[in-house]
């Protein structure tokens, strides 16, 4: 029965795809554990395969580029996890001010509290940074895209272009999240001042009271 065979082969493909995703996730989790333990430079493909309980050949089937691809994929994987959490944190924010305040505050704490990231930054930043830059330009785009609907719903200062404002806010959010400089982002009053007074003054000035 041709119909039946099609259906089962579709189901088979889906099962294989699910299996492939689970397998690559398992390898990435294992690689992350190795990086946590030994750092980036000392983590080998063999270590990651052993930690994941798979053969070297299996690992190369999922990551044909070997070590470099694996490390880049771990960084991407960790970023995706981070953004899922960030999204959960801010998705019910009612206003542009709130989404920026909560997003910058949460993301900064997450960066400060990320033990593996902090250890790598202290010991082998040169190995992490090139991957972060590639992720970084995608991140700017992702943050900007996320901010667009909030900007569209908000009354903006005359002459402000939504796409330009979103790009500028994304840059400033990312800059403060990773390097707060003079700002104590754990202090709600300072966070509010940064967002409402500094960042948004030209884009969406607070109504005069």
Partner 1 sequence: MDGARPEGAHEPAVARVVRLGGDDRSSQRVRIVDAALRCIGAQGLQKTTADDIAREAGISRATLYRTFPGGKDAVLAGVVETEVARFFSALAVTMGEADDLEDVLVAGMVEAAARLRSHEPLARLLADEPGVVLARLSFAKLDGLLRVASDFAAPFFARWLGPDEASRAAEWAVRIVISYLLSPSQGFDLADAGQTRRLVATFVLPGVVALGALGDPAP
133 binds partner 1 (CB under 8 A): yes
| String marking each residue 91-120 x if it binds partner 1 according to CB under 8 A | --------------------x---------
Angstrom distance (rounded) from CA 54 to CA 26: 10
Nearest CA among 187, 152, 194 for reference residue 173: 194
Candidate residues 165, 166, 185, 191; the one interacting with partner 1 per rule CB under 8 A: 165
Nearer to partner 1, 127 or 148 (CB): 127
- Give yes or no for residue 123 binding partner 1 (CB under 8 A): no
Give the residue, chosen from 33, 72, 116, 132, that forms a contact with partner 1 under the rule CB under 8 A: 132
Q: What is the total residue count of the chain?
A: 209
Cβ nearer to partner 1, comparing 17 with 186: 186
User: Among 2, 3, 4, 181, which residue interacts with partner 1 (rule: CB under 8 A)?
Assistant: 181
Q: How far apart are CA 13 and CA 193, in angstroms?
A: 53
Per-residue b or e along 81-120, where b marks 16 or more CB atoms closer than 10 Å to that residue's CB: ebeeebeebbeeeeebbebbbbbbbbbbeebeeeebbeeb
Q: Which of 12, 152, 164, 186 binds partner 1 (CB under 8 A)?
A: 164
Stretch that binds partner 1, among 56-64, 77-85, 96-104, 121-129 (CB under 8 A): 121-129
Closer residue to partner 1 (CB): 106 or 183: 183
| 59-68 contacts, C-beta under 8 A, 24 or more apart | 59/27, 62/20, 62/23, 62/24, 62/27, 63/24, 63/27, 67/43
Measured from the CB atom, is 17 or 197 closer to partner 1?
A: 197
Contact 78, 137 (CB under 8 A): no
Alpha carbon distance, N-terminus to C-terminus of the chain: 74
Regarding 128 and contact with partner 1 (CB under 8 A), the answer is yes
Q: Which of 53, 65, 66, 125 binds partner 1 (CB under 8 A)?
A: 125
Which spans of this chain sit near partner 1 (rule: CB under 8 A)?
Answer: 111, 121, 125-130, 132-133, 136-137, 140, 157, 159-160, 164-165, 167-168, 171-172, 174-176, 178-182, 189-190, 193, 197-203, 205
């Amino acid at each position: 029965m041709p119909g039946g065979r099609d259906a089962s082969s579709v189901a088979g493909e889906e099962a294989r795809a699910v299996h492939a995703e689970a397998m690559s996730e398992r390898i990435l989790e294992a690689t992350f554990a190795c990086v946590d333990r030994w750092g980036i430079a000392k983590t080998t493909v063999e270590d990651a395969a052993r930690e994941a309980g798979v053969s070297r050949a299996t690992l190369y089937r999922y990551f044909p580029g070997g070590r470099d691809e694996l490390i880049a994929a771990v960084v991407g994987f960790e970023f995706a996890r981070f953004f899922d959490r960030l999204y959960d944190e801010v998705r019910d924010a009612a206003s542009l001010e709130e989404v920026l305040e909560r997003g910058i505050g949460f993301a900064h704490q997450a960066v400060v509290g990320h033990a593996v990231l902090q250890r790598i930054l202290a010991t082998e930043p040169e190995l992490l940074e090139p991957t972060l830059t590639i992720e970084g330009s995608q991140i700017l785009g992702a943050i900007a895209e996320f901010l667009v609907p909030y900007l569209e719903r908000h009354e903006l200062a005359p002459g402000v272009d939504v796409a330009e404002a979103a790009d500028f806010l994304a840059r400033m959010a990312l800059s403060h999240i990773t390097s707060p400089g003079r700002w104590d982002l754990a202090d709600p009053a300072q966070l509010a001042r940064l967002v409402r007074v500094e960042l948004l003054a030209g884009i969406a000035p607070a109504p005069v009271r």
